[in-house]
Amino acid sequence: MAVRPKTLALLAAAFVIAASFQVTTTTFEALGAGAQVSDPAQENGSTEDNAGFDELEAATVKFQAELARLAEICDSLNLHAEAAYTRKWSVPQRTDQLALYLPLAEVPEAKTPNAARWLKHFHAARQSYAEALFVAAKSVVARDEAAAYRILWRLLRENPDHPGARKVLSGLVASATANPRLRKGTAALSDLGWAPRSYYSVNSRHFNLVSNADSDSTKVLAAQLEQTFVLWTQIFYSAWAEPGTLAAGLSKADPVTINFPRNRDKFRVVLMKDRESYLELLGASEEAAGASVGYYWPAGKQSIFYASDELELTLNHELTHQFFAESARELDKKSTVGESGDYWIVEGIAMYMESLSRHENHWTVGGWESARLQTARYRGVRDGFWIPTERLSSSTLEGWKADPQISLLYTHAAGLTHALMDDRLGKPTRSATISAIGALYAGRRLGKTLLQPFGIDETTSKNNYQDALLVTDADVIGLSESKKQVDELVLVGSRLTADSWNDLTAQSQVRWLDVSFSNVSEQALARWLSGSQKLERLSVEGTQLSGVAAASGRKLQTLTELDLSDTGLTDAQLQALQGHPTLEVLWLTRTQVTDEALSTIRSLPQIRLVDVTGTAATSTAWQQWRQ
């Protein structure tokens, strides 16, 4: 595989918070029958008029400087826990990711006089910053309601009792922070086959949850539903809010309470006690959903899940379908979204929401390290997979169900959507994408419009897509500063500095690592693998790292798959894997191994697949081994 050099500079700013709120104007071409979707205030652009945003940047820099000063004082007084907490409070801002906030952070108690003084100054700094945020929100709301809305939520993180912000967002604040109240359902639910008092019922501000699972699981889900909805409103403001609503509320000297969103029926969610009852229920409505732990049923206007440790990703995915379908600003109840085309973005935006992650005192969505993007990067960069624009834009729900490449369709849709929502195309695209999705749920066709930012023709579009997927040094900096540990990292084709590779070795919890066709050094890879604790899949395809991969792989007692294709691996190097206890799959494609490698292969107790295509190994010898 030949990896093209990166042509688009994707710059990530670590702490420049104002970069998330600068303004530009971008307009996608007409949608469908003359509909126009504009991008009036994209977060990462620039404009001559940055009133409010410049002040926000200055206030943010001042706030961060005060936090740094407080942390240093804490260290000098041996208040190391307080110093660490203060440093963690500042949230790194990245261009490929949105930071989201709820007023739920818990501040540690002060147990000593010095700790009490720290806490006093910490609260004072936050309250001062909150006031600056409120001024900024009022200043920018006329031009960028979505940015102002997110600023208000950031404000409430700093001062949950701020009277102006709480008054404007009172309903949503209450729903995000409420303690759910469970009651035994008194009515028979014939559609579920539940008798009175055999289930729990929770009626919160935006949800009607019914559950025959245990009380703890039900209560946790009830709180999570409201929080997820509020976070969704922060990401997709323009898709559900009436234009001018927030501006009207903030323009008054005394802020006006706003009802967010417009009055609609509550979202209905069903939580089943186990997988068996879930499958039994779905058997009458949707057979294809049986492989998941949850499903949004459009015809029944309800999401159905069962209690599981693996629920969160599916929850975010299916709730996204439900929120858009039932909260779209110009809801067209006569049509089903995606039935005549554009289905790729329906699934793409739901997969994007799977990246919603909770951190110690905030949430994030998007980012190059998102799980769905790892497979998309593998298919898009390594395999060169690309679906022609015409075929993709005309995709329908029924067409996807019948397509034998359905898994690749999902992967490609996830990659495209992240590129648009994460602003990976060298120009701002997030806000216009959100507006376009709102238009789609209003019953309009998008056609090729949403794909136009990738390029004017198929070749250019494919190249720009691959560029958007490649990992850069700036990306690595963003991940390192977040201190986040990820499960999967596909770095195929990456050309990074030695410092970046060194930073990545801190990722000790990775289960799938792919450094194919990259410039990682032997020293960096050896150091990384020596600290890996859970690695199951490793690929060094197309590199000169076969020796270190085999030698280090022998020590990885969790490794089940190893790809050494196109590495120049020899029989002697392969012997380092002699007797590996867990290895099941071994790719030796186009290496220098011969029939002598069979002695090593036979020593692997769990091996079930070995590929020796393009090697000097004879078919007769390997056929005997397979038998």
**pLDDT tens digit string along 193-235?**
999 999 999 999 999 999 999 999 999 999 999 999 999 999 9
Q: What is the DSSP letter of 242?
A: P
Smallest CA-to-CA distance from 564 within 522, 584, 592 is with: 592
Q: Please tell me the number of Cα atoms within 13 Å of 186 on its side-chain side.
A: 1
Q: At CA 421, angle to CA 418 and CA 423, rounded to 5? A: 95
311-327 vs 430-441: helix crossing angle, rounded to 10:
60
3-class secondary-structure state, position 55 = helix
Q: What is the DSSP letter of 396?
A: -
Q: What is the pLDDT of residue 261?
A: 60
80-89 vs 53-76: helix crossing angle, rounded to 10:
170
613 vs 245: CA distance, rounded Å: 63
385 vs 303: CA distance, rounded Å: 33
Q: Are 200 and 184 in contact, with CB atoms under 8 Å apart?
A: yes
300 vs 294: CA distance, rounded Å: 14
Q: What is the pLDDT of residue 337?
A: 83
- The residues facing 306 across adjacent strands are 272
Classify 220 in phi/psi space as left (phi over 0), alpha (psi -120 to 50) or beta. Answer: alpha
Q: Are 346 and 325 in contact, with CB atoms under 8 Å apart?
A: no
435 vs 133: CA distance, rounded Å: 25
Beta strands at 488-490 and 363-366: parallel, antiparallel or unpaired = unpaired
Residue 220 Cα distances to 160, 353, 362, 382, 525, angstroms: 22, 20, 18, 41, 41
597 vs 609: CA distance, rounded Å: 14
Q: Where are the domains of the chain?
A: 174-345, 485-626
471 vs 479: CA distance, rounded Å: 11
Q: What is the pLDDT of residue 288?
A: 54
Residue 102 backbone dihedrals phi, psi, to 5 degrees: -135, 150
pLDDT tens digits for range 228-253? 999 999 999 988 888 888 988 887 77
Smallest CA-to-CA distance from 510 within 469, 479, 481, 545 is with: 479
Q: Are 145 and 243 in contact, with CB atoms under 8 Å apart?
A: yes
Q: What is the DSSP letter of 265?
A: P
For residue 223, give both structure tokens: 């709180």
Smallest CA-to-CA distance from 368 within 4, 6, 2, 90 is with: 6
- Torsional sign, CA 213, 214, 220, 222: positive
For residue 627, give both structure tokens: 């038998």
Q: What is the DSSP letter of 353?
A: G
Residue 226 Cα distances to 137, 160, 207, 574, angstroms: 24, 17, 7, 54
Q: Are 452 and 446 in contact, with CB atoms under 8 Å apart?
A: no
Class of domain 174-345: alpha beta
Q: Name the CATH code of domain 485-626 (choices 3.40.50.620, 2.60.130.10, 3.40.50.300, 3.80.10.10).
A: 3.80.10.10
3 vs 9: CA distance, rounded Å: 16
173 vs 161: CA distance, rounded Å: 10
Q: Which residues of the chain have pLDDT under 70?
A: 1-49, 259-263, 284-291, 328-335, 627
Q: What is the pLDDT of residue 290?
A: 52
